[in-house]
Structure formats: structure tokens, C-alpha cells
Amino acid sequence: MEDYILAAEELRKEALARLENVTDEKGLEEFYVAYLAKKGSIPGLMIHMKDVADKAAFGAAVNKARTEVTASYEEKKAALAEKALNAKLLSERIDITLPATPTKTGHVNPYRLIIDEVTDIFLQMGYEVCEGRDVETDKFNFELLNVPKDHPSRDMQDTFYFGDDYLLRTQTSAAQAHKMSEMAEKKPIRMIAPGKAYRRDDDDMTHSHQFAQIEGLVVDKGISIANLKATLELFAKKMFGQKREIRLRSSYFPFTEPSVEVDVSCFNCGGKGCAMCKGTGWIEILGAGMVNPRVLEACGYDPEVYSGFAFGVGVERVAMLRYGIDDIRRFYQNDFRFLKDYPVK
Ligand code: PHE
């Protein structure tokens, strides 16, 4: 009878020895099934209870075997789990000293840098940005701007048409016609419209069928050409340097009266005369004028009450002067060797 107590003791020793040799989770699982599970050999000892005389001693021996083996089993289980985790951490370790693969990023086009700079200057003066749209109607691109269908100035602004009425805008001035006619209540306006314009042009070093302009428009009571001059002078100083001066030369645009070309004193030679300003000391940078009363009226503003000024800057021209770029086509070729040279602020 004592044999069963001994057998329990033997089984305990055997199980603990077997456990020593278990090295992985699969082995541990097999061990559990063999010794500790419901049908395993340790709980299986209990069927002998009925044959044993000293039931208390036998029960104690079985209990001891179960508790000790279970404790060792749990210990082993934890150790194996830790080992697995460590192995996983090791295999997934990242060497942070390795140099990263450089990602290639693009670069802001220099004409966009000029748009951003000009926009910043006018935002500081309280202007809002109204970009308008590239596809326009004849009405907004021409008619509301005092250019009826038979107007000779249309010859210089031939463009790409979609049917009779839709076209790619030839000037960002179309955005001022939108803004004025779409104001529900006719209130003062201070806006700029940066964006693309299109004209049928022979593409060469200084002409492109697609280019960028920035239109400016101010409409209010009592606006005079003095306001136009002061605004553009401030702009020229902020854009080209505090020492710059501007001069206005008389010109013609159908939508402004009077109209002017605005020159800025040469920022390369300071006005003495150099190759950049072709010896004149002045560089032409934009067209401007007082909004023609007919335009105000066509867009719903009473010209007896309101007056205004408008101006249009050629973006690529300013960028070419500022950065010494010789060919306008470079802006649209997306050649990274060219683009990367311009400083992003
Ligand atoms: N829209 C004119 C052009 O493209 C420029 C301009 C704008 C002139 C506003 C006067 C006022 O040539």
C-alpha cells in the first residue's frame, strides 16, 4: 500500500526532472498534458485512493506533487515567455545609428515665392486675397472691364476659347470684375488676385502663353491717384528696398482712366544706369490706373459715390529681375536643378 505513496513521490521527482529539460512552449504544453491536465498522471494518482490504507499520507503526497510541479511549471512558463519576448525584441531591434535614406522633396517655384512675398505685403495693408478662376466668361474677362466685343485691345489679348463664351482668362483683372459685381451690398473693397493668366503668344525668352499676374483693387469713397501712388511706393520699398522710388508714366488700359505704367528705380544700380535697367535707371514693374467709371458702373458701383484704383503686376517679370533669371520658360519646365536654387523663407 505504501507503494502508492512512493509512486506519488517518484512521479513528483520525475515530473520536476522532465520539466528541467523543457526548452520551448511546445514542450511545455506537452508536459502540461502529460502531468498536470485533468487526465494527466498526477491527478490520475487519485484513482488509487480507494486502495490506500493511509489516505491522509497519500493525499498529502499527491498534493505535494501537484503543488510543487504546478509551481515549477508556472515558473518555467514565465521564463519561456520572457525568453521569447527578448528574442523578439532582439530580432526587431532598429539600429538608429544607420544613416536614413534621404527623401527627395520638391521645391517651391521662384514665381510662387514672388506671389507669396507680394501677398504678404498686401495682407499687412489689410487687403484680402480673391483668386478668381482660370476659366472665365467673355463678360468678366472683357465686357465688364470696358472691352466690348469689337474693342481693338482684344487683338493683343487673344486667348484659348471654349465655344464663344468661355475662355482662359487673359488677365487677373477678371477677378476684380467678379468681386465688384458679386458684392451684395456695395461696400469698400481692398483685394489682390494672384493667379495665372493666358494669352496666345509666341513662346520665347520673355513671352509665354501662360504666366502669372497679381491684380490689386481698391474701391472706396474719395480714393484718388494719390492713394494709388502712395500704395505702390510703399509696395516698391517693401519689395525692392527702402531706397527705391517710383515714377508714373502715362499709359492706356481700357478699364482704367487715367492709366499709368509704374517704374521703380533700379534695384541693381540704385538708379545710376546699368545693364539691368538698360542704362535708364528705371525698371517697369506694373500697369495701373484709376478704375474707369464705366467699369464701376457696369459692376454696380455708383461712380458718383465711389472711386478706386487698380494695378497689375507681372509675376515672372519681377522674379526674373529679382533672381536674374534669363528665360521665362524656366519657370514651367520643372527642372529641379533650376528650382532648387531659390531661397524659401
Ligand atoms: N490687366 C492689365 C494687363 O494685363 C494690367 C493692369 C491691371 C493694368 C490693373 C491696370 C490695372 O496688362
- Does the pTM exceed 0.85? no
Residues shown for the chain: 345
Identify whether the C-beta of residue 314 lies closer than 8 Å to the C-beta of residue 192.
no
Distance, CA of 274 to CA of 191 (rounded, Å): 35
338 or 1: which carries more pLDDT confidence? 338
Give the count of beta carbons closer than 10 Å to the beta carbon of residue 149: 9
What digits encode the pLDDT tens for the residues 307-330?
Answer: 999 999 999 999 998 898 999 999
Q: Is the pLDDT of residue 345 over 80?
A: no
Residue 311 Cα to ligand 1 midpoint, Å, equals: 6
Residue 72 Cα to ligand 1 midpoint, Å, equals: 90
What is the model's pLDDT at position 81? 94
Q: What is the mean pLDDT of residues 50-67?
A: 92
Smallest CA separation from ligand 1 atom 10, residue? 288
Distance, CA of 215 to CA of 272 (rounded, Å): 30
Whether the CA torsion 231, 236, 241, 245 is positive or negative: it is negative
Q: Is the pLDDT of residue 218 over 90?
A: yes
What average pLDDT is seen over the chain? 94
Q: What is the mean pLDDT of residues 332-344?
A: 87
Residue 287 Cα to ligand 1 midpoint, Å, equals: 5
For 246-255, the CB contacts below 8 A with 24+ separation are 247/282, 248/288, 251/287, 251/289, 253/287, 253/289, 254/145, 254/146, 254/147, 254/151, 254/153, 254/292, 255/145, 255/146, 255/147, 255/173, 255/289, 255/291, 255/292, 255/295, 255/310
What is the model's pLDDT at position 1? 52
Smallest CA separation from ligand 1 atom 5, residue? 312
To test the ligand 1 pocket, which listed residue (168, 172, 213) has its Cβ within 8 A of the most ligand atoms? 213
To test the ligand 1 pocket, which listed residue (144, 146, 173) has its Cβ within 8 A of the most ligand atoms? 173
208 or 345: which carries more pLDDT confidence? 208
Q: Is the pLDDT of residue 100 over 90?
A: no
Percent of all residues in the chain with a pLDDT value above 70, rounded to a whole number: 99
Q: Which ligand 1 atom lies nearest to the CA of residue 173?
A: 1
Q: Which ligand 1 atom lies nearest to the CA of residue 213?
A: 4
Q: Is the pLDDT of residue 87 over 70?
A: yes
What is the model's pLDDT at position 61? 93
C-alpha R_g of the chain: 43
User: How would residue 98 be classed by pLDDT, with cut points 50, 70 and 90?
Assistant: confident
C-alpha 47: how far from its chain's center? 77
Q: What is the mean pLDDT of residues 274-298?
A: 96
Residue 7 Cα to ligand 1 midpoint, Å, equals: 108
The cell numbers describing 97, all together, are: 545609428
User: How would residue 225 be classed by pLDDT, with cut points 50, 70 and 90?
Assistant: very high
Residue 94 Cα to ligand 1 midpoint, Å, equals: 59
Residue 197 Cα to ligand 1 midpoint, Å, equals: 11
Q: What is the mean pLDDT of residues 156-178?
A: 94
Residue 288 Cα to ligand 1 midpoint, Å, equals: 6
Smallest CA separation from ligand 1 atom 2, residue? 312
Give the count of beta carbons closer than 10 Å to the beta carbon of residue 118: 20
Find the residues whose C-beta lies inside 6 A of ligand 1.
Answer: 171, 173, 215, 253, 256, 287-289, 310-312
What is the model's pLDDT at position 164? 87
What is the model's pLDDT at position 291? 98
User: How would residue 76 be classed by pLDDT, with cut points 50, 70 and 90?
Assistant: very high
164 or 301: which carries more pLDDT confidence? 301
